[in-house]
Amino acid sequence: MHTPRTTLCWLRRDLRLGDHAALAHAQGAGRVLAAFVFDPTLLTGLAPDDARVALIWHSLLEIRQRLRALGSDLAILYGDPAAAIPRLAARIRAHTVFAARDYEPAARARDERVAALLAADGRALELVKDQVVFDTGEVLTREGKPYTVFTPYARAWRARLSPADTGSLAVRLAPDAFLPWRDDEMVSLATLGFADNPIGRAHAGEAAAAQRLAAFEAKIADYHAARDYPAQGGTSQLSAALRFGTVSIRALARTALAHDGAGAQAWLNELVWRDFYQQLLWHFPQVEAGSFKPAFRTLRWPGEEAHFEAWKTGQTGYPLIDAAMRELLQTGWMHNRLRMVVASFLTKDLLIDWRRGEAHFARHLLDFDLAANNGGWQWAASTGCDAQPWFRIFNPVTQSQKFDPDGAYIRRWVPELAALDARAVHAPWQAKALPDGFLLGRDYPAPIVDHAAQRERALALYGKQP
């Protein structure tokens, strides 16, 4: 009797069952078993209640439940993928393991190891594009080189785009499409050494991502006007869903393309920024370790440790900075405008190495993504390829007045300032009058540095570089 060929689909940053490149390709090659591997090297050092682990866990449970309804399962494994994946592939006699291509240096090294071990056993690892609209060599300059400036990259990206690039990669959810299976290894969050986290749980799963996308679609027309005002909630907050692939980038691009108008255009542009940073990391993996611009690689940052602590905990005395840093600690998210402002403040007001800020974000952001985070930090620190010029330095007070004009965002995250009026709340130390009983330096810190003086120091520091 003919036995159908089996394939293994290794889920990583694509935790969903719909519009799924690796699953669609795997189904074209046989009956599929889906698997996920918790890699101890990635879990080491995370807080025991890390929201991202909970997000992954609950997303996996949703997938598992749906696959069990089809008589199959999601194999949830723990260990070095270089051992776990070839072992499982051998066990089910999968000729090919399918997975979505990952652009991070460590993931690339891991995938090369897995591919070599599979090959030694007569099997193949096939990596397919899923995480971005265009990857690796798909958008290059006329000379065949990677773009390092966003605007021409975005132009070329849009010129290349056809409906096929954003079409849904359909997955057949039928019992005969999946391998009959019952996972017997039963990893649990507790056995992984992690506790549940309500924030991770709230962001988990394909259904939640679809709801978030539908809610955003209703206001996409206003995105261009609302996107810079943190109190307005005008952005999609889909970054964690995209990071873990509970929604596909193609679904987001289709949504943007289905709407006319400046809002949808501006949003599509952000999706292009995401592709831009992914391809940058692929072509220039050295950005993970240091400045893209060689001139800034030797820069010595004179900032103080106490200032770094104040920045991390939201105690700098600059209300907008403190509000944003506290929101990050409490929710794992921060608005893009504020990511730019706090990153500029760390590097150009506190004169602290951007890599320390990058690492703090990496620890706390639910949507932490090496390519976007590194790109954002190098942009703000002016060390990146298409960065903010080094002599452009955000003024944290004018940014606050401009983008949180009535102080609503500040008051939400810095309750000590709730009674300050819209003029005083941006810079309490400059206020002519403060509410009765409010004492600066006791109830809220006085500014830890003077922006004007630090600006001059930053200009001197950056200006010294060759």
Ligand X SMILES: Cc1cc2nc3c(=O)[nH]c(=O)nc-3n(C[C@H](O)[C@H](O)[C@H](O)COP(=O)(O)OP(=O)(O)OC[C@H]3O[C@@H](n4cnc5c(N)ncnc54)[C@H](O)[C@@H]3O)c2cc1C
Radius of gyration of the chain (CA): 24
Decide if residue 416 touches ligand X (CB under 6 A). Answer: no
**266/250 Cα distance (integer angstroms):** 16
Decide if residue 238 touches ligand X (CB under 6 A). Answer: yes
Contacts of 302 (CB under 8 A, 6+ apart): 351, 457, 461
The answer on whether 235 is annotated among ligand-binding residues is yes
Closer Cβ to ligand X, 26 or 280, answer by number: 280
Among 6, 27, 236, 248, binds ligand X (CB under 6 A): 236
Closer Cβ to ligand X, 344 or 454, answer by number: 344
273 is catalytic: yes
Three-state DSSP class for residue 266: helix
| Selected catalytic residue, list 126, 217, 288, 336 | 336
| Selected catalytic residue, list 354, 379, 390, 413 | 354
Sheet containing strand 6-11, strands side by side:
74-78, 31-38, 6-11, 94-100, 124-128
Binding mask 369-408 for ligand X (x = CB under 6 A): x--xx-xxx--x----------------------------
Interface with ligand X: number of residues (CB under 6 A):
29
Decide if residue 368 touches ligand X (CB under 6 A). Answer: yes
Among 274, 307, 356, 426, binds ligand X (CB under 6 A): 274
| Of 243, 245, 248, the residue nearest 205 (C-alpha) | 245
| Selected catalytic residue, list 126, 138, 273, 395 | 273
354 is catalytic: yes
Q: DSSP string of 418-435?
A: TTS-TTTTT-GGG-S---
User: If you search the block for the tokens 């394909």, which residue do you land on?
Assistant: 206
Task: Give the amino acid at 42.
Answer: L
270 is catalytic: yes
The answer on whether 330 is annotated among ligand-binding residues is no
Q: How many other C-beta atoms are found inside a 10 Å radius of the C-beta of residue 323?
A: 27
Pairing of strands 31-38, 94-100: unpaired
- In angstroms, what is the minimal distance from the CB of 381 to ligand X? 9
**For ligand X, which residue has the nearest CB?**
376
129 contacts 103 by C-beta, under 8 angstroms: no
Decide if residue 339 touches ligand X (CB under 6 A). Answer: yes
Decide if residue 203 touches ligand X (CB under 6 A). Answer: no
379 is catalytic: no
Among 136, 237, 331, 465, binds ligand X (CB under 6 A): 237
Q: Which helix (H) or strand (E) holds 399?
A: helix 396-403
- In angstroms, what is the minimal distance from the CB of 147 to ligand X? 15
The answer on whether 158 is annotated among ligand-binding residues is no
**384/388 Cα distance (integer angstroms):** 8
| Selected catalytic residue, list 126, 138, 217, 270 | 270
Closer Cβ to ligand X, 166 or 239, answer by number: 239
Q: DSSP string of 326-343?
A: HHHHHHS---HHHHHHHH
- In angstroms, what is the minimal distance from the CB of 454 to ligand X? 19
The answer on whether 196 is annotated among ligand-binding residues is no
| Of 142, 192, 242, the residue nearest 42 (C-alpha) | 192
Q: DSSP string of 298-326?
A: TPPP---HHHHHHHHHT-SS-HHHHHHHH
In this structure, is the dihedral angle defined by the CA atoms of residues 146, 151, 155 and 157, taken in order, positive or negative?
Answer: positive
Closer Cβ to ligand X, 215 or 306, answer by number: 215
Among 361, 390, 394, 409, binds ligand X (CB under 6 A): 361
Phi then psi dihedrals of residue 87, to 5 deg? -65, -45
Closer Cβ to ligand X, 17 or 343, answer by number: 343
The answer on whether 11 is annotated among ligand-binding residues is no
Site for ligand X in 341-360 (CB under 6 A): 343
Annotated binding site: 223, 235-239, 267, 270-277, 367-369
Binding site for ligand X (CB under 6 A): 227, 235-239, 242-243, 270-271, 273-274, 277, 335-336, 339-340, 343, 361, 365, 367-369, 372-373, 375-377, 380
Catalytic residue positions, numbered: 270, 273, 301, 336, 354, 377
